[in-house]
Chain A
Amino acid sequence: MTYIGNKSDLRVVGTRPDRPDGVDKVTGRAIYGADFRLAGQLVGRILRSPHAHAKIIKIDTSKARALPGVKAVMTAQDMPNITSEESFVGEGPTNFRDQSLNVMARDKVLYEGHAVAAVAAMSPSIAEAALALIEVTYEVLPHVIDVEEAMAPGAPILDETLFTAGVDPKPTTPSNIAKKIILKSGDIDAGFAKADIIAEGRYVTAAVHQAYIEPHACVATIGADGQATVYASSQGHFMIRAFCAKLLGMEISNIRVIPLEIGGGFGGKTIVYLEPVALTLSKMAGKPVKLVMTREEVFRASGPTSGAVVEVKMGAMKDGTIVAAQAVLKYQAGAFPGSPVQPGLMCAFAMYDIPNVHLTGYDVISNRAKVAAYRAPGAPISSYAAEQVVDDLARQLGMDAITIREKNAAKAGTKTVYGVTFPEIGYEAVLAAAKSHAHWKAPLGKNQGRGIATGFWFNIGGESSASVFVNEDGSVSVVSGSPDIGGSRASMAMMAAEVLGIPVANVRPIIGDTASIGFTNVTGGSRVTYATGMATVQATEKVIEQLKQRAAMIWDISPDAVDWKDGQAVPAGANAGGFDPLSLAAIAAKAGKTGGPIGSEVSVNAQGAGPGFGAHICDVEVDRETGQTTILRYTAIQDVGRAIHPSYVEGQIQGGAVQGIGWALNEEYIYDAKGKMDNAGFLDYRVPVASDLPMIEAVLVEVPNTRHPFGVRGVGEVPIVPPMAAIGNAVRDAIGIRMHSLPMSPPKVRKALDSGQG
């Protein structure tokens, strides 16, 4: 059933109630990964490689084992040596063997921080002492960090068994290029031949980390009967269960994962690092084991997103019609294949209806931590380049930067380069909102500039489960399998309350563990309010059917003669009989006599997630003396389909925009000559702080997605796509120089001002 209809008919959806988990989270009661403890738990610690690339000749753990208070010491030899197998457990494709080797190095270490051994001990100080007693003999190998150096002939090879896929004929020598991908439509040469003007550029981005404030943490316990329980904060407890089962050769039914509160993830908690280690240590020690990463470990050993080199060339006719677009994307994957270059290719020009497109992507391994998903994985990188080239086209044509986008805008019926034809989308509505916003015409001062950029993300659906129960007193419980990373308990409760016609305060949403609710994919891909919301709505509708049947039994009439209205059962019409309405509480009170407890669980594989589009307008001021760029004003406009809880939708947009601001201006992985990360802490890896920023105005455009009962589109990822280009375009406007690499840090801008080249 659809509830899109008239927005003013909605009583709960679109309002801003207090979130159900709010009090727990403002009082310190909420239990996050590192807050949980079990009686008798041991302290785990992981020994990590000091080298960027080395063979492991020998690991001698005998002295560590002999230390009093040490209960277990493990290496990769204590985990199954599993075979190569592709998986789609997390947010993107991965390989179970690579995951296993990333969790614990076997023959080689591939990046500084790569885990080589782990201990479980009675206290933190004993665990630390034990790590110091493990003797690892390495044969240090030449390393490679930079993506283009890793692609070059003669580069140190990380994996002698890796041959570039997607190349014909099949290569005979190993390469760090795991895969070459080509996507195309039309005839690119004919397209450029038609163009009156050409704009192009080569852009470089740095690897950046999701930088969630909560480090990874878990407690694992396994009994002599092989029954395991893992308590962890993550973006998906079913994901943890699947990976642990595969990596440790266990049956899924023998692992129960209990989700704890999660302190941010942004994609980075859609894979495992600690859980298989904690389970292995627990099995060896016969006690629960807790593992918590330090911030330094988070930076060195958990996945950032790719740094990349992106070359873009676009051609347009005099009237502004873009006739050709070409891009080459070289993405760092980290130590194992699997960069988000594919979505990077797909998203680069997705905002536009361009007849001739040619895209080439390279997935490249190097001696860096394996990349993990980060908010719209891949898209911000290609958009950063493409949206600055569009800006250059507009400048060459003397055309308004929104007008050129309107002229070429994707709309319903536009076929993308990857083959999908867009359904109803809101890109044109977003551009119209940007054009009419006061920000676009506001005056600017000296050394100030304005930029706009737009962005696209698919949003996904997928497997979700939710159950709805009517309790004995008529209150309602909603259980779902989606960890709540930013307000999804509120949106689930609101959708259930709206469908039932009851106040949201009467609905209590909780997150079920892997043994208490059906399979649910990760909280990622902007899928939870869409897919888990769909399951919640369908389960609620089934409960209403039951409520109508129970009322019919109480009244002794046909269920067809009962309507559900405003939270009550009412006779469907005058012929049905003259009964007083029956409330949820009244029906619940008689549930025992009318067939037992009332409740329903629904599992879906949601299709048709609505594509999302955003446009960001940014004003900057550049200090010509220091090269410092200050964000003066920022407006982020996005088609959100329909906002269930507008405050949390705005929050997603504001937070995504600010992560993009950090990516644009401050953040980068810096390596020394030995391939070690130089800035593995929040002092030197500088995420934006409150004093760096103005207010971020979020403008919600609502073009409902007809495939969701309330019209929801995913909202969490789109807002990190436009910022880097929006700021790049604003800096170009302010100083007259196009900056070509991220971050646009003060020294780089200073240098550009001195040399006249960015």
Chain B
Amino acid sequence: MSKTHVTTTINGEPAEFLAEAGLTLLDALRDEVGLTGTKEGCGSGDCGACSVIVDGRLVCSCLMLAVEAEGSTIETIEGVATGDTLHPLQRKFIEYAALQCGFCTPGFLVAAKSLLEKNNNPTETEVRFWLAGNLCRCTGYDKIVRAVMDAAAEMRGA
């Protein structure tokens, strides 16, 4: 099967890969680019474990074809920290014990970061509805919601 050459920017760096027509962006990131921090939980856009930001929009990378990413700027969990400095959301997730197994965590962090870029002062309800596309089976969401709220407060300087 012939492959398409795709040129993107991933986490601020130029990245190229070859994609079969049916390859998802998720599989391209994981198998072609080697960024396995983005997870597959369902492959049908229902769990949010594969959340990435493409050209500023939060997407399920399992629902996007890799060839559609041509020319796009993509941000994954591997790009959330700056060097060895964690993003406030990452710090707060650890501080609040907002992860148990940690498998859904990359998706939650990317989705929460996308929320805070749009709304730096979300209510609890806004956090819960924004994150309703991300499934966590371990925590019951309580500590996740608290961590996101506190990260938002810290980032506002509150």
Which chain A residues in 203-218 approach chain B with CB under 8 Å? 210-215
User: Do residues B36 and A25 form an inter-chain contact, with CB atoms below 8 A?
Assistant: no
Is A681 part of the contact surface with B, judged by Cβ < 8 Å?
yes
Is A676 part of the contact surface with B, judged by Cβ < 8 Å?
no
Distance between B131 CB and nearest chain A CB, rounded to angstroms: 5
Which chain B residues in 20-39 approach chain A with CB under 8 Å? 20, 22, 30, 35-39
Is B47 part of the contact surface with A, judged by Cβ < 8 Å?
yes
Distance between B2 CB and nearest chain A CB, rounded to angstroms: 12
Is B123 part of the contact surface with A, judged by Cβ < 8 Å?
no
User: Do residues B99 and A26 form an inter-chain contact, with CB atoms below 8 A?
Assistant: yes
A-B contact pairs, 21 of them (CB 8 A): A19-B97, A22-B94, A23-B94, A26-B90, A27-B80, A27-B81, A28-B77, A213-B41, A213-B104, A213-B136, A215-B41, A295-B42, A295-B44, A487-B97, A487-B100, A654-B139, A658-B141, A689-B133, A690-B129, A690-B134, A693-B141
Interface of A is mostly: loop
Fill in one digit per residue for B70-109: 1 if any A CB lies within 8 Å of its CB, else 0: 0000001110110000100010011111011111111001
Chain A residues, Cβ within 8 Å of B94: 18-19, 22-23, 26
A295 with B43, Cβ < 8 A, contacts A26-B94, A647-B97 known: yes
A420 to B42 CA separation, bound complex (whole angstroms): 43
Chain A residues, Cβ within 8 Å of B102: 21, 24-26, 30, 261, 263
Residue of B nearest to A217 (CB): B40
A691 to B136 CA separation, bound complex (whole angstroms): 12
Is B67 part of the contact surface with A, judged by Cβ < 8 Å?
no
A398 to B93 CA separation, bound complex (whole angstroms): 46
Give me the 10 closest cross-chain CB pairs, A-B, nearest first. Answer: A28-B37, A263-B103, A25-B102, A658-B140, A647-B97, A486-B100, A682-B46, A654-B140, A22-B94, A35-B36
Chain B residues, Cβ within 8 Å of A318: none
Residue of B nearest to A28 (CB): B37
Chain A residues, Cβ within 8 Å of B134: 689-690
Chain A residues, Cβ within 8 Å of B145: 690, 695
User: Do residues A25 and B42 form an inter-chain contact, with CB atoms below 8 A?
Assistant: no
Chain A residues, Cβ within 8 Å of B106: 26, 28
Chain B residues, Cβ within 8 Å of A212: 101, 103, 137
A16 to B94 CA separation, bound complex (whole angstroms): 10
A688 to B94 CA separation, bound complex (whole angstroms): 23
Chain A residues, Cβ within 8 Å of B125: 691
User: Do residues B40 and A215 form an inter-chain contact, with CB atoms below 8 A?
Assistant: yes
Fill in one digit per residue for B106-138: 1 if any A CB lies within 8 Å of its CB, else 0: 100100000000000000010111011111111
A693 to B37 CA separation, bound complex (whole angstroms): 27
Which chain A residues in 631-654 approach chain B with CB under 8 Å? 645, 647-648, 650-652, 654
Chain B residues, Cβ within 8 Å of A659: 137, 140
A696 to B35 CA separation, bound complex (whole angstroms): 34
Is A441 part of the contact surface with B, judged by Cβ < 8 Å?
no
User: Do residues A213 and B137 form an inter-chain contact, with CB atoms below 8 A?
Assistant: yes
Chain A residues, Cβ within 8 Å of B20: 125
Is A343 part of the contact surface with B, judged by Cβ < 8 Å?
no
User: Do residues A687 and B96 form an inter-chain contact, with CB atoms below 8 A?
Assistant: no
A214 to B22 CA separation, bound complex (whole angstroms): 23
Distance between B67 CB and nearest chain A CB, rounded to angstroms: 15
A16 with B137, Cβ < 8 A, contacts A28-B106, A647-B143, A681-B44 known: no
Chain A residues, Cβ within 8 Å of B13: none
Is A170 part of the contact surface with B, judged by Cβ < 8 Å?
no
Is A150 part of the contact surface with B, judged by Cβ < 8 Å?
no
A683 with B100, Cβ < 8 A, contacts A213-B137, A264-B138, A695-B142 known: no
Beyond A263-B39, A688-B140, list 17 extra A-B contacts (CB 8 Å). A28-B77, A28-B78, A34-B40, A210-B137, A213-B49, A213-B135, A214-B39, A263-B104, A294-B43, A648-B97, A651-B100, A651-B139, A654-B142, A658-B141, A691-B128, A691-B131, A692-B132
Chain A residues, Cβ within 8 Å of B38: 28
User: Do residues A26 and B43 form an inter-chain contact, with CB atoms below 8 A?
Assistant: no
Chain B residues, Cβ within 8 Å of A30: 102
Is B158 part of the contact surface with A, judged by Cβ < 8 Å?
no
Chain A residues, Cβ within 8 Å of B96: 647
Distance between A303 CB and nearest chain B CB, rounded to angstroms: 15
A264 to B139 CA separation, bound complex (whole angstroms): 11
Is A266 part of the contact surface with B, judged by Cβ < 8 Å?
yes
Distance between B70 CB and nearest chain A CB, rounded to angstroms: 21
Residue of B nearest to A487 (CB): B100
Fill in one digit per residue for A650-676: 1 if any B CB lies within 8 Å of its CB, else 0: 111011111100000000000000000
Is A399 part of the contact surface with B, judged by Cβ < 8 Å?
no
Is A29 part of the contact surface with B, judged by Cβ < 8 Å?
yes
Distance between B28 CB and nearest chain A CB, rounded to angstroms: 12
User: Do residues B132 and A691 form an inter-chain contact, with CB atoms below 8 A?
Assistant: yes
Is B152 part of the contact surface with A, judged by Cβ < 8 Å?
no
Is A110 part of the contact surface with B, judged by Cβ < 8 Å?
no
User: Do residues B90 and A266 form an inter-chain contact, with CB atoms below 8 A?
Assistant: no
Is B19 part of the contact surface with A, judged by Cβ < 8 Å?
no
Chain A residues, Cβ within 8 Å of B141: 658, 688-690, 693
A690 to B111 CA separation, bound complex (whole angstroms): 13
Is A346 part of the contact surface with B, judged by Cβ < 8 Å?
no
Is A141 part of the contact surface with B, judged by Cβ < 8 Å?
no
A696 with B142, Cβ < 8 A, contacts A32-B103, A651-B97 known: yes
Distance between B66 CB and nearest chain A CB, rounded to angstroms: 13
A320 to B105 CA separation, bound complex (whole angstroms): 48
Fill in one digit per residue for A119-140: 1 if any B CB lies within 8 Å of its CB, else 0: 0000001000000000000000
Chain A residues, Cβ within 8 Å of B146: 695
Is A262 part of the contact surface with B, judged by Cβ < 8 Å?
yes
User: Do residues B142 and A18 form an inter-chain contact, with CB atoms below 8 A?
Assistant: no
User: Do residues A26 and B86 form an inter-chain contact, with CB atoms below 8 A?
Assistant: yes
Distance between B142 CB and nearest chain A CB, rounded to angstroms: 5
Is B10 part of the contact surface with A, judged by Cβ < 8 Å?
no
A295 to B47 CA separation, bound complex (whole angstroms): 10
Distance between B54 CB and nearest chain A CB, rounded to angstroms: 17
Is A485 part of the contact surface with B, judged by Cβ < 8 Å?
yes
User: Do residues B101 and A486 form an inter-chain contact, with CB atoms below 8 A?
Assistant: yes
A687 with B135, Cβ < 8 A, contacts A21-B102, A215-B40, A695-B142 known: yes
Residue of A nearest to B81 (CB): A27
Is B53 part of the contact surface with A, judged by Cβ < 8 Å?
no
Of A215, A645, A692, the most chain B CB neighbours within 10 A belong to: A215
Chain A residues, Cβ within 8 Å of B42: 295, 681-682
Chain B residues, Cβ within 8 Å of A585: none
